[in-house]
Structure 1
Amino acid sequence: MIASDNAPADVVYPKGMKFAILMISLYISMFLVALDKLIISTAIPAITNDFHAASDLGWYGTAYLLTNCAFLLVFGKLYTILDIKTTFMTAMVLFEIGSAICGAAPNSIAFIIGRAVAGLGGAGTQSGILVIIVYAVPLEKRPQYQGLFGAVFGIASAIGPVIGGVFTTHVTWRWCFYINLPLGAVVLTFVFLFLQVPRQSTEKTGLMYKLQQLNLLGLVALIPGVVCLCLALQWGGFEYSWNNGRIIALLVVAFTLLIAFVLVQIWKPEQATVPPHIFAKRSIFGGFWVSFCIGAHQTLLIYFLPVWFQVINGDSAMDSGIHLLAMVLALVVGSIISGVLTSRIGYYMPFLIAGICISSIGAGLFTILGTSASEGQWIGYQIVYGFGLGACSQAPNMAAQTVLPRNQVSIGASLVIFAQTLSGAIFVSVGTNVLDGELAKRLSAFSSVTPKQIESAGLTGLLKTIPEKFHKETLTAYNDSLHVCFRVALIMACLAILGALAMEWASVKKEVVETTKESDNEAGEKSVA
């Protein structure tokens, strides 16, 4: 691995107004992708009413997740063999097309197709943002701008349900998707005008060579494998029981295909979607694990804290979203401070380790939330957790940008996003099944409510099915059951430290020079050895 204190000679970083406009475009695109994941949550009841298709409700989120998760690693590879600007703009156009289809959908099927197309475009947009910043900002200055991406993502995630509720109530749910069109058009225009990246070494090669580099055999295993896994996680415990033949078959097929994908990567490393020598780097596999753990505990708390607010505090869905703002604001502050200080001292590892420790403390505090917790308690706990999360969440991305040459950053960045997205899908399912199981067990002590009745009543409608004299006991049972979910989040937050300890203390003040395929292979052999 060759390092240099200076930026590569073929990179001319934008300056002044050109730089500002390009960065604003990237922040807008990150905002739109993050917003699209959660803005639908408060609009779903109105959508199902309009389409008279309550049975399709689960597909509205699943369709986006399937294509988004399945194609993240594919786009990571595409950015190494195709023109970066064209690939990003194509992904953004797909995201826009998907949004337009959703907004204009005449029926549920068309809406689901639109969500799938938007998920595909979102996958390419997410990974593309992290590739473009490599060509927009020198490495030593990148952490402070990278920190703002974390802040933008946090803000969009928090206000998404609120914006969705406002559109649905005062205009129409279709504007949850139409909002992407004018903002996306602005991004496409500015990227087209102001983004300049060096030509890829593979751009002048023939179509057959590019197809070989895309590793079609690996993709045949990867894409259906991820789809089967996501379907099993979305359906297990909801549509079907975990011991249902469909779920078992999906899991068996998923793991078989994903193992086959790994074997193909080892068999043909020179064409691998995820070259083994990249994943073998300490900072990459360590960062992958950190991102997986962050995705797990972040998802559990963002998903189940609103449940606590609605059930225990008696908040409306809108108020429960607003009450998460303390966490979001702390996350924004943590992201910005860690980014600025990383650029100053040159190392992201101190903030990664500190952030993991602080977020673990915050996650632990949620496990002692009582049914009569004060406003100061749940705000304070969120501030601790949010600040720690913000301080550590961007470090895995920075690690990929620091230890990999520019022509391989897209693969490392896609791995980080893939880990976080996949763990989010896994732990929503884990948390929901844990909550249902724990709640049924605790309620059985004083009520005859069955797990089936809990499921049909919904998480926040359960009190209506239980006699009023047992409401206090029910709230206590609910609170204790949510504590188990929060303990799972605490465990995952603590386990993130294992990945951090495996990572290198690399300096952002030294940029890795782009390497040829031959030197990549040599580096891979040394890394594995």
Structure 2
Amino acid sequence: MTDDTQGGAGEAEAAQTETGGIASVGPLYGRHTSVEQTVGGGVLVSIGALLLGMLLAALDQTIVSTALPTIVSDLGGLQHLSWVVTAYLLASTAATPLWGKLGDQYGRKKLFQAAIVIFLIGSALCGMAENMSELIAFRALQGLGGGGLIVLSMAIVGDIVPPRERGRYQGLFGAVFGTTSVLGPLLGGLLTQHLSWRWVFYVNLPVGIVALAVIATVLRIPHKRARHVIDYLGTFLIASVATCLVLVASLGGTTWSWGSPQIIGLAVAAAVLLAAFVLVEQGAAEPVIPLRLFRVRTFTLSAVISFIVGFAMFGAMTYLPTFLQVVHGITPTMSGVHMLPMVFGMLLSTTGSGQIVSRTGRWKVFPVAGTGITTIGLLLLHKLDEFSGNAEMSFSFFVFGVGLGLVIQVLVLIVQNAVGYEDLGVATSGATFFRSIGASFGVAIFGTLFASSLGHNLVQALAGSRLPAAVTPGSLEADPRGVVALPVTVRPAVLHAFSDSITDVFLYAAPVALLGFVLAWFLREDKLRGSVTAPDGTETLASNPVERSSYDEVCRALSLLGSREGRRQVYEKITARAGYDLLPAASWLLLRIKKYGWAEPGMLAERSMVPLTVILDAGRQLEERQLARREGLDLILTEEGREVADRLAQAREESMAELLGDWWGPDRPTDLIRLVRELNTELCGSDAERPQGV
């Protein structure tokens, strides 16, 4: 039994399968019960609470961007703006693998509740911060909890939802990221403009408290302890390496000169820690990033390109609101609106590229085109200035977003295709890990370049001007809102200084994106396995790495394929494979009767939404072939019908196994065999595969 199961839970909550269990499920199809074994109301409420938890973490990576200029003006320290984002990214990235494995060992419900509490405490403290140092520290605490919210909410879905339904429900969680990409900047702007930037953080509190209360009272998780040898040292070392390098990138040339003892010391420390990390990972039982993955060329190239994509994506998303609000005088709310073309371009190309690749099997054109268009997008952003119109800015934002979207989803997909089943989970988390680290570097380096050039440009802009003693380059850096109070004779030069300082950053980033374009040409276009499907939003749009096992990745893909590929085509295929000439609907009905013991055509038509004429034709054929007989209104299988149904079920299983390609080899693991059989049992004759065309 589970340490998460509380007293009063019924037998349905305790009953579970070996592969994860189902809490609070409806009864099997009987004469007066539902058509399917369905997810019960308690689980749906729990899913809603998990979605709220996911919403908190997803929203926090976009809602802050439009508030950053106001935060800097209020707390001062424009040169530290990047760390408001970077602290969160680094903390959540480092914490993600630990949350996943600790949840396996000690129970995901308790850990998920702890993650929410940590996130809410961090949010409350961020809202109360009195200076930038406090805000940065509290953002790191918030990121620590945010990493757990994403990884544990996805893992809990696997605990409470049967394998057949997981793809659909995990798709909902992925959709949260797409939604927050649109709503985050808008909501951040609204709260900042009409309440205070502090409400960007306070808004998490009521949502989190509701999620916490629902999870405490409703969520029941069938849980089997899974022991892990957690790589604490490896996690600490890689996080330390990333932190040292980001500190070098963000403090070098600004706070300290590049040749200062501090910067040299940080660089040396990063090199020593990296060497120690490599040594530790070679002997780790469950390494954070197995070094053998770097022997796979596709993984290595994809990791580097993922780093570059994260670098460009989050760097630009952090500083574009500052350009809009300071240079163009746009309100925080409207800056969120102006960001929408980039978001829509990214979502459109992300969705389109992933679907096209998973259906055609051809993918190389997308990372090549994506990195190329991203480079062009950065050059277009560089051309913007204080005189640029809305149409020009929207077009530049859209092109940049399209470029990013073309590549981010495909990179995850091809990494999954390039490795063996045993490395599927860690390869996916590894690729997304490098995107997260790239995001940290992008925000930090963009910030360094911006801060170092802004001071110089402001000195030039204000040279020779007669201004109040309180107005200095330093005061404008600390509070950009001071620009509006400048005399009209000076203001244009200052706005131009801000504009050049921000847009020059995109010019410096363009060669990095161009490097990704060059590397993309060296990717080898291997044939895709049938089970490799477009990854969801949690794997492509999240700022922190995904952390799912190989089993979970295959389960998601097969459950999606089972419901998408199903219906008429799959029954035509398995009927031919089994050597019969039955109607597709007859094969479906035969398997359905095998599954539930009987079928009454009228009731089945009403509850499964398959036309009654289709079911009657199928039933008539079964009776004519003596595969089923009547008992009153019900159809019951004959002995010959059971044999045919068994052969059809075997053909369905073989068809599903074929999708796994070389993962379904002679040495295939037992959990993969169990998954295919369980999904086959759930899908055969189910509503998910009712034979009504596609």
Band the TM-score falls in, shorter-chain normalisation = 0.7 to 0.9
Report if aligned partners of 2:298, 2:415 keep a CA contact under 8 Å in 1: yes
**Alignment CA distance shift 1:64-1:95 (3 Å):** farther
Residues of 2 paired with 1:107 and 1:373: CA distance? Answer: 37
Deviation at 1:369, TM superposition (A): 2.0
The residue that corresponds to 2:204 in the other structure is: 177
Offset, 1:256: 1.6
Shift of 1:358: 2.7
Aligned to 1:507: 528
State the partner residue of 2:644: none
TM-score by length of 1: 0.74
Judge conservation of contact 1:359–1:493 (CA < 8 Å) in 2. Answer: yes
Aligned length: 494
2:493 and 2:73 mapped to 1: Cα distance?
34
Which of 277, 283, 288 pairs up with 1:261? 277
The CA deviation string for residues 162-207 of structure 1, in whole angstroms up to 9 with x for no partner, is: 35426844995653321441564499589956x889x79xx2x5xx
- Is the 8 Å Cα contact of residues 94 and 118 (structure 1) preserved in structure 2? no
Residues 323 and 114 of structure 1: CA distance in aligned 2, closer, same or farther (over 3 Å): same
1:165 aligns to 2:192 (yes or no): yes
TM-fit CA distance, 1:380: 1.4
Q: What does 1:184-263 correspond to in 2, within 5 Å?
A: 184-185=211-212, 203=226, 210=228, 213-233=229-249, 235-236=251-252, 240=256, 242-263=258-279
**1:340-489 to 2 correspondence within 5 Å?**
340-405=355-420, 408-443=423-458, 445=460, 447-448=462-463, 453-458=472-477, 460-461=480-481, 463=483, 468-489=488-509
Q: Secondary structure at the match of 1:385?
A: helix
1:399 and 1:406 map into 2 onto residues whose CA distance is 14
Any idea what the Cα deviations from partners look like across 1:95-134, whole Å, max 9, x if unmatched? 3112331355496599877644432232244455777899
The within-5 A match list for 1:3-402 is 18=39, 29-40=53-64, 61=85, 63-74=87-98, 78=101, 83=104, 86-87=107-108, 89=109, 92-105=112-125, 108=129, 115-127=139-151, 148=175, 151-152=178-179, 154-155=181-182, 157-159=184-186, 161-162=188-189, 164-165=191-192, 168-169=195-196, 172=199, 175-182=202-209, 184-185=211-212, 203=226, 210=228, 213-233=229-249, 235-236=251-252, 240=256, 242-266=258-282, 268=283, 270-402=285-417
Q: 2:20 & 2:271 partners in 1: Cα distance?
A: 41
Contact kept, 8 Å, 2:50 with 2:153, in 1: the verdict is yes
Report the CA distance shift for 1:444/1:246 in structure 2 as closer, same or farther (over 3 A): same
The residue number in structure 2 matching 1:4 is none
Determine the C-alpha separation between the residues in 1 that align with 2:166 and 2:398: 30
Aligned in 2, Cα 1:274/1:248: closer, same or farther, shift over 3 Å? same
Aligned to 2:514: 494
**Secondary structure in 2 matching 1:469:** coil
After TM superposition, the structure 1 stretch with the greater mean CA deviation from structure 2, 282-291 or 472-481, is 472-481
Q: 1:298 to 1:90 in 2, by over 3 A?
A: farther
Structure scoring higher RCO (CA < 8 A, sep ≥ 6) equals: 1
Counterparts of 1:468 and 1:392 in 2: how far apart (Å)? 45
Residue deviations 1:376-426 (CA, integer Å, cap 9, x gap): 111112222212222222222223433345554442233233222222222
Q: Deviation digits for residues 71-106 of structure 1, max 9, x if unmatched?
A: 345457x38xx739945x555333311233135549
Unaligned runs of 5+ in 2: 1-17, 26-35, 466-470, 532-659, 670-694
> Among the aligned pairs, what percent are the same residue?
23
Q: Do 1:127 and 1:413's aligned partners in 2 also have CA atoms closer than 8 Å?
A: no
Change in Cα spacing, 1:348 to 1:54, as seen in structure 2 (3 Å) is: closer
Question: How high is the TM-score relative to the length of structure 2?
Answer: 0.58
What value does the CA root-mean-square deviation take over the aligned residues?
4.9
- Judge conservation of contact 1:360–1:494 (CA < 8 Å) in 2: yes
Q: Secondary structure at the match of 2:480?
A: coil
Please report how far the alpha carbon of residue 300 of structure 1 lies from its aligned counterpart in structure 2 after TM superposition.
2.7
C-alpha change, 1:184 and 1:235, in structure 2 (3 Å) is farther
- The alignment partner of 2:384 has SS state of coil
Structure 1 residues 471 and 349, CA, compared in 2 at 3 Å: closer, same or farther? same
**How far apart, in 2, do the equivalents of 1:422 and 1:373 lie?**
32
Secondary structure of the equivalent of 1:509? coil
Letter in 2 for 1:175: Y
SS of 2:203's equivalent?
A: helix
Kept after mapping to 2: 8 A contact 1:140/1:509? no
CA positional deviation for 1:429 = 2.5
Native 8 Å contact 1:141 1:343 kept in 2: no
Relative to its length, the structure with more helix (as a share) is 1
Is contact 1:30–1:126 with CA below 8 Å preserved after alignment?
yes
**Helix, strand or coil: the match of 2:489?**
helix
Farther off after superposition, 119-128 or 457-466:
457-466
**Structure 1 residue 330: Cα displacement:** 1.9
Contact kept in structure 1, 2:189 and 2:336, CA below 8 Å: yes
Q: Distance in 2 between matches of 1:29 and 1:427?
A: 27
SS in 2 for 1:369: coil
SS at match of 2:61: helix
2:190, 2:212 → 1: CA distance? Answer: 20
Going from structure 1 to structure 2, the CA distance change for 1:247 and 1:462 (only over 3 Å counts) comes to: farther
Cα 1:124–1:169 change in 2 (3 A) is closer
User: 1:51 Cα shift?
Assistant: 11
Q: Which amino acid aligns with 1:376?
A: A
In 2, distance between residues paired with 1:231 and 1:53? 16
